Amino acid sequence: MPRPLRTRSPDTAARILDVAERLVQRRGFNAVSYADVAKELKVTTASLHYHFPGKAELGRALMERYAERFCAALEEIERTHAEAPGRLRAYSTLYLRVLEQDRFCLCGMLAAEYQTLPEDMRQAVIRFLDDNETWLTRVLDEGRREGSLRFTGSAADVARAVISSLEGAMLVARPYGDTSRFEATADQLVASLTSGHPEPA
């Protein structure tokens, strides 16, 4: 018999979120049930409801944690890459690392199910995309001013194109199980924006 989780601890909630995130990134939010998560953790579904009363609460917690980690990753990119081309390459690598685990971007997966999501999850998806767009817009603007990037139109429009291209590249590469398809697209994308300004070694 599955054992109940008797205490509401951060570690237990984190374990639930870890399993739920992996399952959602592979199957989609609507295809994952509390029973699926409970089975992997070898606990009762009642234990999951103790920490996350409903699936909407679980989904909101998933998005909040994912967004926080992604934000921290963007801060790390800024700390370790001084120039815009390097930041764009590192940004695309965030997507690649997810694909290498046979997963899909959590936000991209939820965006595909957007019309069926609870309203607060819809808002979380939009916030995540907006935050990424804002960060990329700033990187692109700085790169153009410094001369390391070149593109036509507004930086915001290009930022949207970058996000769409990377999400789409993940989607197309996934059925083939071939990350090189994604990498080729990401490399072409960055190459199209650079002006021959080499990234420091």
Q: Is 80 exceeded by the pLDDT of residue 14?
A: yes
Q: Phi and psi at residue 192, in whole multiples of 5°?
A: -70, -20
Mean pLDDT of 118-140: 96
- CATH number for the domain whose boundaries are 55-193: 1.10.357.10
Mean pLDDT of 13-37: 96
Domain ranges of the chain: 1-53, 55-193
Q: Is 60 exceeded by the pLDDT of residue 196?
A: no
Residue (of 96, 117, 87) closest to 167 by Cα position: 96
How far apart are the C-alpha atoms of 33 and 25, rounded to whole Å? Answer: 13
Mean pLDDT of 152-181: 96
- Res 167: pLDDT: 96
Its CATH architecture, for the domain 1-53, is Orthogonal Bundle (1.10)
Q: Which residue has the higher pLDDT, 96 or 8?
A: 96
Record the pTM.
0.88
Q: Is 70 exceeded by the pLDDT of residue 198?
A: no
User: Is 55-193 the same fold as 1-53?
Assistant: no
Residues in the chain: 201
pLDDT per residue over 141-159, tens digit each? 999 999 999 999 999 999 9
- Res 68: pLDDT: 95
Q: Which residue has the higher pLDDT, 11 or 197?
A: 11
